[in-house]
Amino acid sequence: MSTLATWPARAETWLDRQGKAAWIIAMVLGFILFWPIGLGLLGYMIWSNRMSCRALSRSFRRSPLHPTGNSAFDAYKENTLRRLEEEQHQFEAFLQRLRDARDKAEFDQFIADRHDSPPPQDRDVA
């Protein structure tokens, strides 16, 4: 394959290695030099999701449980995550108790209103 045919792929790879800033600079320069080039780059960046957060390399993302190598920090992180999970469960239980209390109050009000109102009378229509 000729060098002329492979330069777009090489340019794309180089820009990806440089990051989002390089793509933005290339787009701005494209608008300055000849606006259809800039417009084409903008369209390509939108179409290929180059500017979305999902475009980040997976190698930069770490699992919350992935050890960092620092035992003190790993222990702190583990304790903090465990504490946050416990607090989340306690808060969810609290919200459930609130929902149950609200439902009971609404039901009790319905029963009280039902007993206070006179029973409907059947009318004979002649």
Q: What are the pLDDT digits (tens) for 4-34?
A: 778 778 888 888 888 888 888 888 988 888 8
pLDDT for position 3: 72
Closest CA to 15 of 47, 44, 39: 44
DSSP letter (8 states) at residue 64: T
Q: Which residue has the higher pLDDT, 101 or 59?
A: 101
Residue 54 reports pLDDT greater than 80: no
**Contacts with 15 (C-beta within 8 Å, 6 or more apart), sequence order:** 22, 23, 26
* Number of CB atoms found within 10 A of residue 41's CB: 20
Residue 58 reports pLDDT greater than 60: no
With beta carbons less than 8 A apart as the criterion, state whether 18 and 24 touch: no
pLDDT for position 38: 82
Q: How far is CA 63 from CA 58, 68, 91, in A?
A: 10, 10, 25
pLDDT for position 55: 45
Residue 74 reports pLDDT greater than 80: yes
Residue 56 reports pLDDT greater than 80: no
Closest CA to 3 of 85, 34, 11: 11
How do residues 75-125 score in pLDDT, each as one tens digit?
999 999 999 999 999 999 999 999 999 999 999 999 999 888 776 676 665
SS (H, E, C) 38-63: HHHHHHHHHHCCCCCHHHCCHHHCCC
